[in-house]
Amino acid sequence: MINITEVEETNAMIEKDNLDVRTITMGISLLDCIDSDLDRLNEKIYNKIYRCAKDLVRTGEEISKDFGIPIVNKRISVTPIALVGGSACHSSADFVTIAKTLDRVAADVGVNFLGGYSALVSKGMTKADELLIRSIPEALSSTNIVCSSVNLGSTRTGIDMDAVRLMGTIVRETADLSAKRGVLNGDTKLVVFCNAPDDNPFMAGAFHGVTEGDVVLNVGVSGPGVVKAALEKVRGADFEILSETIKKTAFKVTRVGQLVAREASRRLGVPFGIVDLSLAPTPAIGDSVADILCEMGLEYAGAPGTTAALAMLNDQVKKGGLMASSYVGGLSGAFIPVSEDQGMINAAEAGALTIEKLEAMTCVCSVGLDMIAIPGDTKDTTIAGIIADEMALGMINQKTTACRLIPCPGKKVGDHAEFGGLLGRAPIMPVNNFGCDAFVNRKGRIPAPVHSFKN
């Protein structure tokens, strides 16, 4: 039972510290839409999504009004489209028609983003997987709401290096085609994973896994400002008090997500899935994960001690969340997207934060190299090498890691890229341009580590 003290604390967190429910994401299975005829497939996809999600936005707004809790985004995730379109799509252009159908229905129901234009290729690519991957530049540069993800590896299967190499090219082609058309850089809506979760409500990596039910509601709750405000009250305290403060705050934040999730589930008549407690920053002042690290005692995010501080933050967030809900899932931890976090931007501009340091930080946080703008002339083999490194961290450490790298055509180190809205702005960060061509151009896959065999 939620008591009056909790209500008062929650109101203060909302009013002063930017607490919000970052997203209500409806996961929808499209497996029952599979058809060998492309026109019928597109029609079935549109009808299924519209039927399930037509009341999602209205319900989210009503809950926000009734409870006084900001619900920033209403989103949809669907079954990976490489699986759904395999029978009907015989070219990349065929897959693009599905992307446009997804974009149209997402706009019609009013959601912010739709995820699931995805392929799962950790052990190898089917013909459909490869066609979808090759369609990504066209799909993302000709749609507004669709997000794409590709799972390239897992602890159980290793890393598909053929797909990694291909994605290096796709990331470059997506940026170039977006610039040519004068639209938002499609790479802001494209992420590659190792060990991608089936129930992630956050974009761009959300998809509705095949182990999920027909329709489910997952909620992502966020509160970096709340955690920072709590730590300000224990400034100078020892690590035990620091840890306990983070854990207790995470518990309170997760309770808010649980409340919203249960109410949305009841009103929509859709099963509740999970609460994802991720400290997901926004460009707003006071809503920064980097600022939490600074409050813990660092001059800038990226200073010596950053990885240790982030490891403790991430672990205590998970512990607090698990005590507040039996169904914590998704990514649940701390996100470190550069362009979406003003503190990260400041650190990068000061020279405290580099891609190499961010890579180290991804060993202990929730995701990976996220929303990092790099020079427009970065080679596709270099991009593939960075992706391979990040996938290896996830594979060996048995955790989710990801890359959302954004080459910015015409931009060089020291320039800035503007993406707008929650996507923010980013300084162009330098990359290591020493060659890795001979390595990433090898064929096949990197084998799974020995500790993957647990049967």
- What CATH number does the domain containing 144 carry? 3.20.70.20
- Give the domain extent around 304: 219-449
Based on the fold, state whether residues 244 and 173 are members of the same structural domain: no
Q: How many domains does the chain have?
A: 2
Q: How confident is the model at residue 8 (pLDDT cuts 50, 70, 90)?
A: low
Based on the fold, state whether residues 189 and 230 are members of the same structural domain: no
Query: Does any domain span residue 369?
Result: yes
Q: How confident is the model at residue 1 (pLDDT cuts 50, 70, 90)?
A: very low
Residue 199 has pLDDT above 90, yes or no: no
Q: Which residues pair with 24 in a beta bridge?
A: 74, 219
Based on the fold, state whether residues 444 and 300 are members of the same structural domain: yes
Confidence at residue 113, expressed as pLDDT on a 0 to 100 scale: 95
| CB 356, CB 432: distance < 8 Å | yes
Cα separations in angstroms, 402 against 267, 302, 307, 454: 34, 19, 17, 24
Q: Which residue has the higher pLDDT, 222 or 172?
A: 172
- Give the whole-angstrom CA distance, residue 195 versus residue 318: 18
pTM for this model (two decimals): 0.92
Based on the fold, state whether residues 362 and 417 are members of the same structural domain: yes
The overall average pLDDT reported for the chain is: 90
Based on the fold, state whether residues 261 and 344 are members of the same structural domain: yes
Q: What is the DSSP letter of 413?
A: T
Based on the fold, state whether residues 225 and 182 are members of the same structural domain: no
Say if strands 425-427 and 416-418 run parallel, antiparallel, or are unpaired.
antiparallel
- Give the whole-angstrom CA distance, residue 99 versus residue 58: 24
Based on the fold, state whether residues 173 and 239 are members of the same structural domain: no
Based on the fold, state whether residues 284 and 325 are members of the same structural domain: yes
Query: Does any domain span residue 412?
Result: yes
Q: pLDDT by residue (tens digit) across 428-450?
A: 999 998 999 999 999 999 999 88
Q: pLDDT by residue (tens digit) across 212-262?
A: 999 999 988 877 888 888 899 999 899 999 999 999 888 888 888 888 888
Confidence at residue 281, expressed as pLDDT on a 0 to 100 scale: 79
Domain boundary at 194, 210, 235, which?
A: 194
Q: Could you give the 3-state DSSP secondary structure of residue 327?
A: coil
Domain boundary at 194, 228, 258, which?
A: 194
Based on the fold, state whether residues 178 and 243 are members of the same structural domain: no
